[in-house]
Structure 1
Amino acid sequence: MGPHRILLDCGLEQIDALTAEAEPPADLVLCTHAHGDHARGLLALHRAFPHLPVYASEVTAQLLPLNWLDEPDVPDFCHALPWRSPVEFADGLSAELIPAGHLPGAAAFLLTYATSERTYTVFYTGDFLLSNSRLAEGLPLEELRGLKPDVLIAEGSYGTARFPHRRQQENQLAERIHQAIAASQSVLFPVPTLGLGQELLILLRSHHHFTGRAIDIWVDERIAAGCDAYLELLHHFPSSVQNFARHQSLFWDERIRPHVRRLPLDPGLRQIALSGPTPAIVLTHYDTELSQYVHASLLPWLLLVPRQPGREGAIDTLTEQRIQASKSLRSLLKSGRLTLDTYLLGEHCDGIGTTQLIHNLRPQHVVLVHGPANYLADLASLEELQNRYHLHTPLAGMRVDLPVGETFLQPAAPETQYEGELTEYEDGALVTLPPVLLTDPRWQSFADTGIVEVRWQGDSLVLRGVSQRELLNRGDEPDILPGTECCGNCIHYRGQRCWSQASSLFGFKVTPEGYCPAFSPVPPDPDAEPMDFSTNPIEREPDE
């Protein structure tokens, strides 16, 4: 901005590109939050350029050292900035921190550069979440309405995917854990040091499915270090969390069930801890060899991993790579001692939340970053954004010119619609798609089994690929007699979930033999032979 060079976050594992010159790559560094993909390169950058100032919120400054637990003597190099109070760094250049949700201490930056002619503004979100999570309040959108920055640099991690409300996501996850415990399965969560692990612990400590139950929750040392750091920052947390901590321990508790304990470092003691007759829940760092926990217990295990945004039932790419790299894990999955399932607990805004932020801020330029290229392209191709803003989805290393207040031709929207052919036959129809679709990274997941689910959406026909795990789960569904008033015979039952907006179970996984008042029968097949139920009358229990 003007003569000032500002580095926004530094999540590089190798910072060679930033140290190629003898001079620092920027005049100052602003760090939005303490997650590794935004902060892991800061220590190496500080060691290369000790006089380069690094700024963040007070909470982020205290959480940053958790990125370098294996490093001795990590210096305190990050300067804390206050919330909602502009701080001037140089002549005409200032920044203001706005809470961004997502993680305790996470901030969005409003950068301002004032000259005698005019004032230039850039709003950088980092990672953000509009909804309140268990340990962080959401980004205060009402404070930013009508801000009209010249440039908005926003993350698009989840693209245009749409998710249920945050509390609904939590209830679905709690129900899945509850089912596993009831089936005598222990549950294994691979999580990062900060954020998701602590959110899960608070959920398990406060949800009605688990309060008061004799369940042991074990936490490995790296996640425990994050918990301890949070306990030092309680006065920065939402009032609901502070109230909870006044009545019982936030994490470590031997008095109130479920008990949360540190996993012993000694392998022998760890095996003793996990070899009990009752199921346990383990939270461990995602870089840990997960098979060691399964081998330590005779009980079967459920491995719960985050779902890839926008892809029903698909695990995130990083987890998939780790599973493929572990022969032991693949063997356990094949033997049935370990079962894999996904869950959704969104840490970023979905497509609606992202567009809501953009419309409320009303910037001139929108630069979409931090997400798969195809997800960012999906966002940039939305007509509601194309008609109002100058959109950019730059590749890494690409310089982006952002002319302010000048005539600017909007780049062509990325191609997201494809033309195919439809051929009808006596026994069905054939849809032929163009070969360019096969080059999209999403195609492999879509065509995984060669089976698609097709449904009408208004006058449009929607195709969805069916994954291998969905097919296996379908094989476990009980046989249901035609004519029975139950979810399995309801037109709203798809993919093991209820999709009736009139039902209180909308979006939830439901059993095929279940029932709710929104039941709507599947139309009978006109070619099917009638069945006689006179010798086996079907009776339904009264509605609860």
Structure 2
Amino acid sequence: MVIRVRPLGAGQDVGRSCLLVSIGGKNIMFDCGMHMGYNDARRFPDFASIKRTGPYTDVIDCVIVSHFHLDHCGAIVHFSEVCGYDGPIYMTHPTKAICPILLEDYRKLTVERKGETNFFTSANIKACMKKVIAVNLHESVRVDDEIEIKAYYAGHVLGAAMFHVRVGSESVVYTGDFNMTPDRHLGAAWIDRCRPDLLITESTYATTIRDSKRNREGEFLRKIHECVEQGGKVLIPVFALGRAQELCILVETYWERLGLTVPVYFSAGLTAKANNYYKLFITWTNQKIKRTFVERNMFEFKHIKPFDRAFLDNPGPMVLFATPGMLHAGMSLDAFRKWAPNDKNMVILPGYCVAGTVGNKVLAGHKQIEMPDRARTVIDVRLSVQNLSFSAHADAKGIVQLIRHAEPRNVMLVHGEKAKMAFLKAKIISEIGIPCFDPANGATVTIETAHPISVSVPPNYVLDSVLDATRQRRNAAEMGLPDEAASASLTPQQALRRDAERDASELLEELYRSKRVRSVPGLPIQSTTVRGVLVMKENEPLRLVHASDVTSHDNTATSDEVEFHHSIALLFVSQMPFAAIVESLRGSLQALDSAILETSPANDTEKLSWLVSNAIRVSLNEHDVEVSWTAKHHTLGERVAHILADALDEMAVECAQMSSS
């Protein structure tokens, strides 16, 4: 079986996110966005590559929209009402509530102010939204008999979701835009360890690892304060919901603490709308806001007032939060046009600006910029430009964190810049060790999805097989078989490693026979073939057993071989009972821990643990000391256990002598 993915937008690019995924014989479209850097047909995804002409309902089984930003939902009305898609559209409840309002605002801007005629209408928006099916977080929703979808919290904006889609035995996770760091009003993204065949993730900040958020916030407030103290105006372009609320809370708190009187404004009407949405969808905010919302609504600002267009020419300092965030239209562009020629003023761009927008040109350092109006007015840019990232996108660390948690078999990067995506792709392949793809728009990636069959095997049977294999390798070397001849050319370091492996195999057998070894998931061991009888029964998991363990009821059994690579691992444990000296030892170790870490002693008095190396842990339990190590560290683990055992013996003798005296 295979999964095919074709980006219709956001392939090695940011803007007009739209992915066509073919999985299990079904075609699913993830997001249907608009590129804010274009004012012609290029603003929409390449729908013609799916089918020359509509309708598209016979080739697309469903559309899933991750959140309400226009680069993810802006083309859904065009696709539905102009191109003729009549199938189901899935999004969360907040996205369904906010999406039509932002679409209508953009329609008014495009048609009524810019004079475009070939654009969707208000009636189109209403008709499209009737096709939308709202979903709850963590709720499994059946699209049809084969497609099942589940939404997870993405933390990017109110209502943003990651989607896990399963068709038969195959599955895909699409992250949309997500944020792994909680902020003042939203929590961090979270998803089950769902192990999909493919995880498709945004990569907006593929090469960025952000510095301290506290430092950025301090610099943000300091630059605003310095500018207004000099009599300048500060423009902060934001989108209506998301970073706007985050930064407003920050400025509100700062103004209140310092008792500042310089006026702070937000684009008229949007503050009230945002307030209503956060009241309605309070369960989507972070824990602090949920807990305090009844007593104090954090979104009712004392110092931030609605802005009137007439204020643009007011003398004196002010701070203005204005939409949209990329300076491509609206109040933020109008304010920029007015204030850009004055070097006393400042613009702070807190988010990403796609290529082609005025915001992108400002960040690139252009000193003259052509306005996207009919007159093509060119303005001089003399104001101070600051780029302080408060973007609600995951950075490179967050992307890798999500990948490691979800444990996909393959990864695909979208929604990013080509060179930066290539860097992150190489990092994922080398550090995580799974295939990674970064297709361009229009390119199709085919991913094979062969699934392993889960087989239940008794742990003792696996251990016996591993012991047999290690004994055979050791005996073959001692008898001078081909492996022994090759050892003559070993370097001293390689010879030491060979001897350590032999010691490890002997230790493995000793520990196993003394019942001091147990199996645990998640740590790799050397591949070993386990031979036995594969038992298959209806409504039961497959079992691999020794031939002598086959019962008369296992009449459907058949001989087979199963090879284990990363599914079984061994953890060796040596427990030393020294109840008499545990309390004394605990105090000494806590004091040592405190001295090394320069912190107060640990409060956990039930169990203390120290990581001696990458895979050796020493734990102090209530009545004993425990040393545990992985299969890769047999020799070192044994040495640590012996050294600690000798030390404990000496301590026990000393304690006994002190007691007798």
TM range (shorter): 0.5 to 0.7
Check the 8 A contact 1:130/1:353 in 2, yes or no: yes
Distance 2:367 2:65 in 1: 28
Counterpart of 1:373 in structure 2: which amino acid? Answer: K
2:449 to 399, 404, 413: 404
1:300 to 328, 344, 347: 344
Q: What does residue 170 of structure 2 align with?
A: 120
Check the 8 A contact 1:303/1:339 in 2, yes or no: yes
Shift of 1:324: 2.2
The answer to whether 1:8 aligns with 2:30 is yes
Percent sequence identity over matched residues? Answer: 22
**Cα RMSD (Å) of the superposition?**
3.3
The answer to whether 1:174 aligns with 2:221 is yes
The answer to whether 1:84 aligns with 2:84 is no
Deviations 1:350-405 (A, max 9, x none): 11111111122221111111100111101011166466101111111111101013
1:54 to 89, 111, 119: 89
Q: What does residue 502 of structure 2 align with?
A: none
Deviations 1:412-458 (A, max 9, x none): xxxxxxxxxxxxxxxxxxxxxxxxxxxxxxxxxxxxxxxxxxxxxxx
Distance 1:230 1:211 in 2: 30
Per the alignment, in what secondary structure is the counterpart of residue 129 of structure 1? coil
- Alpha-carbon distance change, 176 to 270 in structure 1, aligned in 2, over 3 angstroms: closer
Distance 1:160 1:332 in 2: 29
Deviations 1:30-89 (A, max 9, x none): 111111111001111221436311111111111111133225343133221011121111
Check the 8 A contact 1:187/1:303 in 2, yes or no: yes
Alignment of 1:25-424 (within 5 A): 25-48=59-82, 49=84, 51-65=86-100, 66-69=102-105, 70=108, 71-73=121-123, 74-75=125-126, 76-77=129-130, 78-114=132-168, 119-140=169-190, 144-145=192-193, 147-207=194-254, 212-221=259-268, 223-224=270-271, 227=274, 230-236=277-283, 237-242=285-290, 245-248=293-296, 250-251=298-299, 253=301, 256=302, 258=303, 260-265=304-309, 269-271=310-312, 275-285=314-324, 286=327, 287-288=329-330, 289-290=333-334, 294=338, 300-306=344-350, 316=360, 320=364, 324-326=369-371, 330-333=379-382, 338-382=383-427, 385=430, 388-405=433-450
- Alpha-carbon distance change, 176 to 295 in structure 1, aligned in 2, over 3 angstroms: closer
Shift of 1:332: 4.7
Larger helix share, 1 or 2? 2
Counterpart of 1:81 in structure 2: which amino acid? Answer: V
Distance 2:32 2:273 in 1: 20
Counterpart of 1:103 in structure 2: which amino acid? Answer: V
Give the alignment's TM-score, normalised by structure 2. 0.53
Check the 8 A contact 1:173/1:344 in 2, yes or no: no
Check the 8 A contact 2:157/2:186 in 1, yes or no: yes
Compare 278-287 and 38-47 and name the one that shifted more: 278-287
> Which structure is higher in RCO with an 8 Å CA cutoff and minimum separation 6?
2
Counterpart of 2:44 in structure 1: which amino acid? Answer: Q
Give the alignment's TM-score, normalised by structure 1. 0.63
**Gaps (5+ residues) in structure 1?**
310-314, 408-544
Counterpart of 1:205 in structure 2: which amino acid? Answer: E
Q: What does residue 356 of structure 2 align with?
A: none
- Alpha-carbon distance change, 250 to 43 in structure 1, aligned in 2, over 3 angstroms: farther
